[in-house]
Amino acid sequence: MTQADSSSNQGSNASAFNFTLMSISFSHYNEKARWGLDYYGIPYTEYRSLPILHMLSMFKSRAKACPTSGTPFVTPHLTVAPANAPDEKDVKITMNDSTEILGFMSDRFSAPPNKAATSTSTPPLNLYSNNAETKAKILALEERFDTIIGPNVRRLVYSEILCHSPKSVGQSLGQHGNAGALQTWIWTWFFFVFSWILIRFIRVTPESAERSKDILKREFEHLSRVLESGPPGPAYLVGNEFTAADMTLASLASLLVGVTQEDGYGAWVPPMSVFRPEAQEFLKELRESTAGQHILECYRLHRGKKAEGSKYGLSFFGWW
């Protein structure tokens, strides 16, 4: 069953909850969380922010315990609250990790183990499998992608946008519906300040960007060999089914192969054509690899559209 078929499905009790997602709109980790919600057809309200400005957006809902990233202002941040609870703050569930969010969605809203997803009325199967051995393989790959591909993609893309591209490219990240009008104005006029902070916070240097480039090239080569050596049938990372491993790879590496909003990405991102010829050549090489084609195929078959009933939220009188 493809995501195109399942985009209107909802878990049996999804309507009993209100789902609120706070995101940095163009972030690839936030794309993973959005994809999980959309995949299971869970309607949600997304409050979009831009880097650094997101700390103001989520000051009240910041993580209580400082996560591994070193900052409590972590996105994606998902709140799940009972729709009819008299005081929902006492019973709501909060998550601020894309892997945790995806696992929650899959465990709570996937089809039962003995019920195949064969119609539009049946939710997709569990993205982590109901087989313990298979699940362990999926989790291991997901952890690998979260810790190796995710951070290196972020560093390489920020290096290209903030250090090598015209400032209009970086400023455009705050436009195209990626945030409210006031955030867009602040991001545009103070872009050099935000750029300076991000470069230092993410530790973007020519040397670190080159290391990230080498790491990602090796990862794509390895994944291409894995996909090429798999069993006959559809090429997926674990078995013959789309799993959380494929979704994690596709979402976190999507920016390396030129996936855009038109391909299903949940926010506007700049196309490959705005980057330097040197960067375009590298991204094209990754896109044409077996791993790159797998990512594009995952988007084509499984990304689908935003879950029916979802919407964007704005705060501060509709300006934020």
Walk me through the domains of the chain, giving residue ranges and CATH numbers: 3-130+308-313 (3.40.30.10), 132-303 (1.20.1050)
**Residues whose CB falls within 8 Å of the CB of residue 269, separated by 6 or more in sequence, listed in order:** 26, 173, 255, 259, 260, 261
- Higher pLDDT, residue 3 or 237: 237
Q: What DSSP state is assigned to residue 306?
A: P
Distance CA 185, CA 320 (A): 10
C-alpha to C-alpha distances, 103 to 16, 98, 139, nearest whole angstrom: 19, 9, 10
Q: What is the pLDDT of residues 197-246, one digit of tens each?
A: 999 999 999 999 999 999 999 999 999 999 998 766 668 999 889 999 99
Using the predicted structure, report yes or no on whether residue 100 has a pLDDT greater than 80. Answer: yes
What are residue 77's phi and psi, to 5 degrees?
A: -125, 115
Is the pLDDT at 102 greater than 60? The verdict is yes
Q: Which of 212, 225, 217, 216 is nearest to 290 (CA)?
A: 225
- At residue 13, the pLDDT reads 72
- Give the strand order in the sheet containing 45-49: 93-95, 77-82, 17-24, 45-49, 311-313
Cα torsion angle, 155, 157, 163, 167, sign: negative
Question: 8-12, 75-79, 238-242 — which is least confidently predicted?
Answer: 8-12
Residues 6+ apart with CB under 8 A from 312: 45, 46, 47, 48, 177
Digit-coded pLDDT (tens) for 282-308: 999 999 999 999 999 999 999 988 999
How far apart (Å, rounded) are the C-alpha atoms in residues 75 and 64?
13
Give residue 1's pLDDT band: very low, low, confident or very high (50, 70, 90): very low
The torsion defined by the Cα of 69, 72, 78 and 81, in degrees rounded to 10, comes to: 150
SS3 95: strand
Confidence of residue 105 (pLDDT cuts 50, 70, 90): very high
Q: How confident is the model at residue 68 (pLDDT cuts 50, 70, 90)?
A: very low
pTM of the model: 0.90
Beta bridge partners of 39: none
250 exposed, middle or buried (CB, 10 Å; 0-12, 13-18, 19+)?
buried
Distance CA 199, CA 300 (A): 33
Report residue 89's pLDDT band, with 50, 70 and 90 as the boundaries.
Answer: low
State residue 291 phi and psi, 5-degree precision: -65, -40
Distances (CA, A) of 269 to 58, 85, 103, 132: 22, 38, 26, 37
Please report, in angstroms and rounded to a whole number, the separation of the first and last CA atoms in the chain.
Answer: 38
- Assess whether pLDDT exceeds 70 at residue 149: yes
What are the tokens at 100? 């945790």
Tens-digit pLDDT profile for residues 39-56: 999 999 999 999 999 999
